């Protein structure tokens, strides 16, 4: 980390702008999927679960990903909208943690992104009952082939339960590796008056 990095984190008023710069750098240095992020959700009773998903958009309005709303994570989001994200960019020795509530995107946004996916991915979304028990791989392949036949010669229709969610950040923490585990941690928290930043012990 350079002195410029440290000054920027301490005094930058907009953590989204810091994320933009870090994400752009990760896209240049990470060998695979710089947009991969761990998504942590919890059940209504507070039991947590975590998995990797892909960031499909971000900005002042939040951090966007897509999934099957009938999956385990989808059911947990319906029961408890609070969630957390974690980006780990090993090539840069940096992490970003983001916390906040999730809201579902509108139909037009979900339709637009679904239409941008490859046809095979669209058919896979139609064929999959994500997170449900599966008796054999052959069953899934048969469902995929049935979807192929169903939509042959036409556009694949987005299943209504395949949708997107946007996390509205209320806390963003930037972590930078330092020698001897004397790491840098900068926490930004949002209130009605805007963002404030705090330096944390590693």
100 phi, psi to nearest 5 deg: 165, 180
Burial level of 138, CB count in 10 A (0-12/13-18/19+)? exposed
Which among 75, 181, 185, 190 is annotated as catalytic? 181
* CA gap 2, 176 in Å, rounded: 10
Could you confirm whether 181 is annotated as catalytic? Answer: yes
How would you classify residue 174: left for phi > 0, otherwise alpha for psi between -120 and 50, otherwise beta? Answer: beta
Sign of the Cα pseudo-torsion (55, 56, 57, 63, in order): negative
Would you mind telling me the total number of residues written for the chain in this entry?
202
Query: Which residue do the tokens 């996390």 mark?
Result: 167
The SS3 assignment for 6 reads helix
- Helix, strand, coil percentages (3-state) for the chain, rounded to 5, are 35, 35, 30
Query: Which residue do the tokens 């960019």 mark?
Result: 89
Catalytically active residues are 181
């Amino acid at each position: 980390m350079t002195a410029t990095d440290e000054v920027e984190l301490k005094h930058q008023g907009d953590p989204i702008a810091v994320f933009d710069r870090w994400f752009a750098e990760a896209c240049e240095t990470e060998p695979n999927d710089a947009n991969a992020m761990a998504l942590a959700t919890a059940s209504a009773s507070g039991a947590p679960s975590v998995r990797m998903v892909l960031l499909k958009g971000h900005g002042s309005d939040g951090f966007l990903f897509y999934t099957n709303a009938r999956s385990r994570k989808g059911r947990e989001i319906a029961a408890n909208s609070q969630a957390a994200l974690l980006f780990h960019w090993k090539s840069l020795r940096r992490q970003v943690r983001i916390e906040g509530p999730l809201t579902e995107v509108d139909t037009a946004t979900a339709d637009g992104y679904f239409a941008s996916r490859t046809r095979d991915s669209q058919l896979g979304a139609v064929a999959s009952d994500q997170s449900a028990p599966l008796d054999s791989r052959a069953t899934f392949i048969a469902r995929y082939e049935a979807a192929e036949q169903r939509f042959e010669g036409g556009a694949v229709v987005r299943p209504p339960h395949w949708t997107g969610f946007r996390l509205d950040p209320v806390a963003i923490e930037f972590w930078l590796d330092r020698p001897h585990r004397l790491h840098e941690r900068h926490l930004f928290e949002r209130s009605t008056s805007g963002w404030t930043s705090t330096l944390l012990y590693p």
